[in-house]
Amino acid sequence: MKIGKMKLILITLGLLSVTTIPILAYMYITSQKIPAGIMIESPTVEIGVYWDYACTQPVTRIDFGEIIQPNNNLTLRKTLYIKNKGTVSLWLFWNTTLRSATNEITDHWTVVYPFYLPLNETYGYYNIDPNEVWNTEYAIVLAKYLTINTYNWTLTIWGEY
């Protein structure tokens, strides 16, 4: 049986579309955008959170924008600078409402400089001196196949004597 060139091309295109369309559809469906934003609060007036080391641009909101739904766990990071604006050393603490909102996103806050250690949210391991500025990294980890939703939470950072 002899198949013409045109029929062979049509059969090839048909087979390609049968295998390609489901892959493209899967990629499109799992790549939906997810809005996420965070409000920053500091009930201790001596603590400031800034976008820059010179501490001229205060952070009141972290906007991760429209996040593409990942097919693998995905970590997103923001560099933030914490300054003790007071006159005495403070133990730093922080808390997040994220864990009560979802278990599909986790967060952590790390002091990059003067040491590379997690900023512990419950024990206040670290003492920040007056006028000292710490370079920190706030990160969120998105679970693969994150539920399509709008995610918002609050970070609270404070200091105690």
Dump pLDDT digits (tens) for 54-110. 999 999 989 887 777 777 888 889 999 999 999 999 988 888 888 776 788 889 999
> Which tokens in the block code for residue 71?
């097919």
Token pair 């500025």 in the structure block, residue: 133
Q: Which of residues 47 and 15 earns the better pLDDT score?
A: 47
Task: Kindly tell me if the per-residue pLDDT of 3 is higher than 70.
Answer: no
> Which tokens in the block code for residue 116?
């590379």
Helices (H), 95-156: 98-101
Give dist(CA 63, CA 89) in Å, integer.
30
**Range 25-33 contact pairs with CB under 8 angstroms and sequence separation of 24 or more:** 30/69, 30/71, 30/145, 31/68, 31/69, 32/68, 32/69, 32/148, 33/66, 33/67, 33/68, 33/69
Dmax (CA) for the chain in angstroms is 92
Give dist(CA 50, CA 33) in Å, integer.
27
CATH topology of domain 33-160: Immunoglobulin-like (2.60.40)
Task: Kindly tell me if the per-residue pLDDT of 118 is higher than 50.
Answer: yes
Write out pLDDT tens, residues 19-56.
555 554 444 444 556 667 778 788 877 999 999 999 99
pTM: 0.74
Q: Where are the domains of the chain?
A: 1-30, 33-160
